[in-house]
Amino acid sequence: MKASLWREHVLPFTLLLGLLAAATLTGDYVLHRFNLVWVGRYMGIPGTLLIIGSMYYSLRKRKLVTSGNPKTLLSMHEFSAWLGSLMVLIHAGIHFNAILPWLATVAMGVNVISGMVGKMLLNRSRQHVQGQREHFQLRGLSKPEVEQAVFWDAVALGAMAQWRKVHIPIFVVFAVLALGHIVSIFLFWGWV
Ligand code: HEM
């Protein structure tokens, strides 16, 4: 039976993203339930620090620092960016007073999703489509027939391959917007 791209690759991705949403809603609910909304206000700080820490991997990848195993650092990058984003999402809560931090949050969301696409979907999906192609070729289908058979998977793959074009520029947008928000809050708190 033809293994489905959806079940093997897209579903785990959707689950991890769903987990982020569910954990955000649960965290927000718990903080409100126990009158701890102020904790969420400060959760922006560890969340931001985790996201900044996760960028150590980017420095290592570009050889700006030399210590640390790149593979381990990549796993740490993914984990700490995910956890930091969760903290920032709980921090953002469902309060709508200002537009700037929300724009930052949207940019962060696109950032997390594009990172997850790159990590979880792209390589394995590429192998999957290649495997399918070989499978159909071995069964003696002609080239156009093979392409026809993998058409929708190939379209999905093409869209996913764009992730890197999104991941880094949107990170810059995110960083600028987040910095604007953080500086204005620090000014307000009299911390700068
Ligand atoms: C050092 C890090 C951070 C600090 C100290 C901080 C602080 C704050 C504070 C005090 C508020 C409440 C403002 C109000 O009640 O009007 C707030 C709201 C918010 N923050 Fe942050 N924040 C930080 C990082 C971030 C980051 C990285 C993001 C998003 C990517 C973010 C997104 C938001 C959002 C969406 C809100 C709700 C805005 C609203 O009420 O409309 N924060 N933040």
Crossing angle of helices 11-33 and 37-54, rounded to 10°: 140
Which residues constitute the domain of residue 76? 5-189
pLDDT recorded at residue 135: 94
- Distance from Cα 98 to the centre of ligand 1, integer Å: 9
C-beta 85 within 6 A of ligand 1 = no
Q: Domain tally for the chain?
A: 1
Ligand 1 within 6 A of 103 CB?
no
Q: How far apart are the first and last CA of the chain?
A: 63
Asked if residue 185 has its Cβ within 6 Å of ligand 1, the reply is yes
Work out the angle at residue 113's Cα, subtended by the Cα atoms of residues 109 and 68, and round it to the nearest 5 degrees.
105
Res. 1: pLDDT tops 50: no
pTM of the model: 0.82
Cα 78 to ligand 1 centre (Å): 22
Q: Which residue has the higher pLDDT, 161 or 88?
A: 88
Average pLDDT, the chain: 91
* SS3 labels along 165-177: HHHHHHHHHHHHH
| Cβ–ligand 1 contact at 111 (below 6 Å) | no
